[in-house]
Amino acid sequence: MEQEIAIRSYTKGELATMYFPIGSTSNALRRLNRYIHNANGLMDELLATGYRTKDRHFTRRQVQLIFEYLGEP
């Protein structure tokens, strides 16, 4: 039985390593950013929530959008 991932605020590094647990956090961040930019419409929706690339955290709403577009890690 799979455990459901909580939709809550996450640091970018924390969320990135959930998606890409092998390797460094910086590599995981680069890969997550690439996935976010390549998912049609995701970046536009994140920007509508007030997202800025320099932010260190994703809000609950942003995490929910990422899960909707990319699936749960």
Contact 49, 62 (CB under 8 A): yes
Q: Minimal CA–CA distance to 32: which of 63, 4, 60, 3?
A: 63
Contact 65, 11 (CB under 8 A): no
Residue range(s) defining the domain that contains residue 46: 10-70
Q: Would the pTM count as exceeding 0.85?
A: yes
Angle of CA points 3, 4, 7, to nearest 5°? 150
Q: Tokens at residue 37, please? A: 């930019």
User: Is 26 part of any domain?
Assistant: yes
User: Is 62 part of any domain?
Assistant: yes
* Domain total of the chain: 1
User: Is 18 part of any domain?
Assistant: yes
- Please list the pLDDT of the chain residue by residue as tens digits (73 residues): 567 889 999 999 999 999 999 999 999 999 999 999 999 999 999 999 999 999 999 999 999 999 999 999 9
The amino acid that residue 9 corresponds to is S
